[in-house]
Amino acid sequence: MVTLGLALAWLALVASLGWWMSKRIVATELDNLAASAEYEAKTTARIMDRLFTEMVSVTNMVARQGSVIQLAARYRTDAPGAAELTRQQRAEQFTQDPLVRKVGDFMNALSSDLRYARIYMNNMSDDTVTASNWAESGSIVGMIYAGRPYLVDALRDGNGHSFGIAKLNKTPSYFVASRIENEDSVPQGSVTVKFDASEVALYLTGRHIALIVDRQGRVTTASSAPFMLRNAAALLPPDMALSAGAAPSPDNDEDPGRPLDVHAIAGTDQTGQWLIDGRPYLLRSEPLSNTQYQLLTLAPLDHLAPMRTQHLWVAGLVATVGLLFILLSSHVVAQMLIRRQDERYAANYDALTDLPNRRHVLAQLERLFALAKRTQQWVLVAFIDLDGFKAINDNYGHEVGDQFLVEVGRRMSAGLRSSDMLGRLGGDEFVVIGLATPPGAEGRDDAVEAMRSRLAPLLAGTYAFAECSFDYPGASFGIVSVDPCASSPQTVLKTADQRMYADKQARRAPRRQESASPPSIPASHQLPTFAVSDT
């Protein structure tokens, strides 16, 4: 009946549990993706923060070079009429100066080491005095960058930065500028680092899609090409995003980018799920320190729909296989449980008397010591040895001897207190353990005598079995009560054993005096006198 009930319960639960388990698995997958995206967002944000911090540090370092300050002071403003000259004419005038070439070479070496697209210096007239590419045909030396916000901010505030599309090569790039000052802190010009977005993208190397987005929502760098220069304003935190229709950034003429088709996915367990251009994503965002940019991390969720379909098929398979498994395994499980219970019982109880065995007694004695310490009681141990047990086996056989042991266990159990425990250590040795009240001021141990008076009379007397009956004079007792803080389980057992042996010797002395056996026979070989009658 149990097996049939389990089978019916399994079939009834599979349908509902299949849906629940699928939901749980998907939720776990979403949690893992969320944790992964969160970790990746924070890690990548730290990398980007260091990258932008490095750019600022480089511009500050270059702006403080002695030769750069000297060159900026020399060409602080353009000479009258310079604006009417072509860029090439202005560049020719600048590059004739050895200091212009020297500083340009320094910038070229630095930009090559750091993989920057370009490093250049502008004077107060926004004219490019020198650059890392001063010797190339596409040099920007002589280019006037009037009104560029990063230059305006650098001259006004000390540092400036922005993103834009380079005019000459149409490359999306980041610009970071620092102010050049003389020893009197008077502005002399600025140094700018240009870092192409394609190079920045190499640092976005996680398993998910990473986007760097400005306050207009424009994707300035992306690890996935389809997102580059698109507008993701709908994905930005409300306190950061500007309207997608806001005016273009003042440092360039580009529009904010074609908006992504974005819809929030409602009714999901995991927040931050979006449908972007028809594909589901899990979104995590992280601001970049000291910049206008936000890092967005998108974990694709395309695999969740096939996962749910797979769960449906698996549920059907589980329903079929599970039913067979329950029917076949129920019998095996039942047998294993029975065997385990038998093994546990056999490991802790004596097979003959059903009393706790040595292993169980010792374990309980350890527990009893701990309990006695907490309750400020003493531990009471009685060691019992059945005198003349070998003679019973020899005279009546081992079957009667076994019956005798069982009867001894039954009789002693009747004399135990509710807190006492009787166990068989092996052979004809038994032990009783329990708790006792500490002795009084006079040192009289009433607990020991009370236990002896309860147990000793129970063992003496007539034992009647189907095969025979006999009178048994009793057993030897070694009873000891100890302070658990001043003794140990091993010590108290040893002491009880010694007292039992002393009791055995004392009980043998009267019998030796009455015995007619020759005195040459050792006392240890003498047997107690039994009054025996066969039945």
Q: Which of 31-45, 139-153, 269-283 has the lowest mean pLDDT?
A: 269-283
Q: Three-state SS for 23?
A: helix
Question: How distant is the alpha carbon of residue 412 from its chain centre?
Answer: 54
User: Which candidate in 196, 428, 445, 503 is catalytic?
Assistant: 428
Contact 62, 178 (CB under 8 A): yes
On the question of a common fold for 64-192 and 358-534, the answer reads no
Domain boundaries 358-534, corresponding CATH code: 3.30.70.270
CA–CA separation, 125 vs 275, rounded Å? Answer: 48
pLDDT of residue 140: 93
pLDDT of residue 254: 58
pTM surpassing 0.85?
A: no
Query: What are the domain boundaries of the chain?
Result: 1-36+204-347, 64-192, 358-534
In this structure, what token pair is assigned to residue 369? 């010591």
Query: Taking 80 as the threshold, does the pLDDT of residue 217 lie above it?
Result: yes
3-state secondary structure labels for all residues of 331-366: HHHHHHHHHHHHHHHHHHECCCCCCECHHHHHHHHH
Query: Taking 60 as the threshold, does the pLDDT of residue 524 lie above it?
Result: no
Contact 221, 204 (CB under 8 A): yes
Express each pLDDT in 448-462 by its tens digit. 999 999 999 999 999
Express each pLDDT in 85-95 by its tens digit. 999 999 999 99
In 3D space, the residue among 257, 261, 264, 221 whose CA is nearest the CA of residue 242 turns out to be 257
- Rounded to the nearest integer, the mean pLDDT of the chain is 87
Give the pLDDT mean for 383-392: 93
In 3D space, the residue among 354, 237, 359, 353 whose CA is nearest the CA of residue 295 turns out to be 237
Query: Taking 60 as the threshold, does the pLDDT of residue 417 lie above it?
Result: yes
Q: In the CATH scheme, what is the homologous superfamily, with its name and number, of domain 64-192?
A: PAS domain (3.30.450.20)
Catalytic (active site) residue 251: no
Which residues are CB-neighbours of 279 under 8 A, at least 6 positions away? 300, 301, 302
